[in-house]
Structure 1
Amino acid sequence: MQPTTLALAAALAAATFTGAHADTLKKVTDTGKITVAYRESSVPFSYLAGSGSPAGFTVEITNAIVDAVKKRVNNPALKVEMQPVTSQNRIPLLQNGTIDIECGSTTNNSVRGKDVQFAINHFYTGTRLLVKKSSGIKNYADLAKKKVASTTGTTNAQMIRKYSRDNNLDFDLIMGKDHDDAMLLVDAGRAEAFAMDDILLFGLKNNARNPADWEVVGDSLQVEPYACMLRKDDPQFQSLVNGVIGGLMKSGEFEKLYNKWFMSPIPPKGQVIGLPMSKELRDNLSAQSDKPAL
């Protein structure tokens, strides 16, 4: 059977965005739209705070990038489509052209750097544990031979698996499809702890039904940067995105955004995460590095 015209078109489109020379700005110009990704539960970066549009620190960064794209392609009426993504599908959807940029809570590391291009790092974090206060768990050794949740497709799942193996802790690792799902595993008693980036754990805790029931514990296993993801080999779009993020850092607007989402009440409950800017991030306001984690 011959493939349909639609299938051929899809194959050609995929080839365009997985080839040696992606050109996001040309794609946006030709189609009259840009498709941006968002996360549903990466508080306070990109998340659904109710029935409306996604909100968060990196949603505002994305909006600034979209405004710059509209100016670059000279189309103030450019259509902006929003696409939810998960830890598991975010890279494939970027590579095949379904989304044009992903600014959420994605770790910039050298393995992912083989498949995508990262922009300037906009946050630094490390793996810790979210537990019920009543559990008595304070660190990783308390979880020996117990069930530990993490999120499918994350570096944290790899990190906690390696830590368990290296320290003979024999964790029974169970995976949630997203961060809310992994937290629910702990809430339902199917896991004793949720291993994830500490900032996401603070956000989830603060938005929980009863925040006082939860606490973030454990040593930070590593320091990893977050950065927006773009397609590889697209220097014009990379330059635009880095220009926007770097401009926000240089002007002081980035720090204002940080204080809005990390040091002030955020929707939907008006909770304050209360996490001052780290030394690594403050240093990167000047350095503007896209250096990956190993």
Structure 2
Amino acid sequence: MTLSWIKTVLVAGLLLTSAVSARAQAPESTLARIAETGTLRIGYSPDAAPFSYLWADGKPIGYSIDLCERITQLLQKQLGLDKLEIAYVRRTPSDRVALLQDGQIDIECVASTNNAERRKSVAFSYPHFVTAVRFVALREGGPRVVADLKGRTVASTSGTTVIGELNATSREQGLNIAVMPTPDHEAGFALMATGRVSAFVMDGILLSNLVANAEKPELYQLSLDTVGAAEPYGLMMRRDDPDFEDAVNAALVEIFTTGEIGPLYDKWFTMPIEPHGINLQLPMSEELAAAFENPAKAID
């Protein structure tokens, strides 16, 4: 037995072992698991109205939740299942990516910004909303534009893309803004409302909802300008699972192009919503309407 032959056998053995290991560690097909279990696991937030929040009975509701419940119906049809149940899994801004990667949720149905940095970790559906980062402050004596934040301390929710965008803006404009991370949106809003920070920085639509549902909305004002350009929201999914991603996008295309999306959008953004009957009075923007008309182009 020659030395070269032994080396060949060892290399072949290592290659075989690597191939078997790779197959063992390959992520499970989400569609295959759904078909086998008859359950779709949806990640939700309890405090991201009007996209995802809890109703009095503890059930998640919201614009993104409605979308995902309709997607579930269409996936059931695509897979030829008699029934497809939903299992709701609570997620936070900090653990949502890990829950997707670990397979504890199949799709996150909240309000997550689709940008290049985040796409390194997760996949996104076609856009279902477009917004830009703003800040909210006390109307009396509070900052009004981003430049007013120079040298101040602000709050923002940890685990979001907002903190990175805010820090980049601070560096570029020499603003020296100090950022205090908070576990959720309500905590950040409370810090601003009690004067412990100068502003709470987050996506404009989420701030609008927080102000509208505050005990005294007249005390607060949104910034007159934005931190960076507008970006799309998408439903987050695990990377490297193109079949599931395609199935979700096919469902969204049906919702967007058959007239379903208009009434669904109006329900959450131009009509009174629970729990306080607040109307956000936010008609669909031309940019979002264009995204619905041609969703694939909207993320090019």
Specify if TM > 0.5: yes
Q: CA deviation at 1:48?
A: 1.9
- Rounded Cα–Cα distance in structure 2 between residues aligned with 1:36 and 1:160: 29
Residue 178 of structure 1, aligned match among 181, 184, 201: 184
Aligned residue in 1 for 2:109: 103
- Rounded Cα–Cα distance in structure 1 between residues aligned with 2:285 and 2:240: 31
Check 1:26–1:50 CA distance in 2 against 1; reply closer, same or farther (3 A cut): same
Aligned residue in 2 for 1:122: 128
Matches of residues 48-63 of structure 1 in structure 2 within 5 Å? 48-63=54-69
- Rounded Cα–Cα distance in structure 2 between residues aligned with 1:219 and 1:77: 47
Q: Does 1:239 align with 2:246?
A: yes
Q: CA deviation at 1:256?
A: 1.1
Matches of residues 8-157 of structure 1 in structure 2 within 5 Å? 22-157=28-163
The one-letter code sitting in structure 1 at the alignment partner of 2:168 is: K
SS in 1 for 2:61: coil
Gapped regions of structure 2 (runs ≥ 5): 1-20
Higher relative contact order (CA 8 A, sep 6+): 1
Q: Does 1:279 align with 2:286?
A: yes
Gapped regions of structure 1 (runs ≥ 5): 1-14
Check 1:190–1:106 CA distance in 2 against 1; reply closer, same or farther (3 A cut): same
- Rounded Cα–Cα distance in structure 1 between residues aligned with 2:83 and 2:23: 24
Q: CA deviation at 1:136?
A: 3.4
- Rounded Cα–Cα distance in structure 2 between residues aligned with 1:16 and 1:35: 25
Structure showing greater Rg? 2
SS in 2 for 1:121: coil
| Runs of 4+ residues deviating >6 angstroms | 15-18
Check 1:119–1:112 CA distance in 2 against 1; reply closer, same or farther (3 A cut): same
- Rounded Cα–Cα distance in structure 2 between residues aligned with 1:176 and 1:215: 20
- Rounded Cα–Cα distance in structure 2 between residues aligned with 1:181 and 1:204: 11
SS in 1 for 2:229: coil
Tell whether the 8 Å contact from 2:145 to 2:225 is kept in structure 1 after alignment.
yes
Q: Does 1:253 align with 2:269?
A: no
Q: CA deviation at 1:121?
A: 0.8
Q: CA deviation at 1:289?
A: 2.5
- Rounded Cα–Cα distance in structure 1 between residues aligned with 2:178 and 2:55: 32
Aligned residue in 1 for 2:10: none
Q: CA deviation at 1:19?
A: 5.5
What is the RMSD computed on CA atoms of the aligned residues? 2.2
Tell whether the 8 Å contact from 2:72 to 2:84 is kept in structure 1 after alignment.
no
The one-letter code sitting in structure 2 at the alignment partner of 1:156 is: V
Question: TM-score if structure 1 supplies the norm length?
Answer: 0.88
Q: CA deviation at 1:22?
A: 4.3
- Rounded Cα–Cα distance in structure 2 between residues aligned with 1:68 and 1:157: 36
Q: CA deviation at 1:292?
A: 4.8
SS in 2 for 1:83: strand
Q: CA deviation at 1:68?
A: 2.0
Check 1:72–1:23 CA distance in 2 against 1; reply closer, same or farther (3 A cut): same
Residue 204 of structure 1, aligned match among 207, 210, 227: 210
Question: TM-score if structure 2 supplies the norm length?
Answer: 0.87
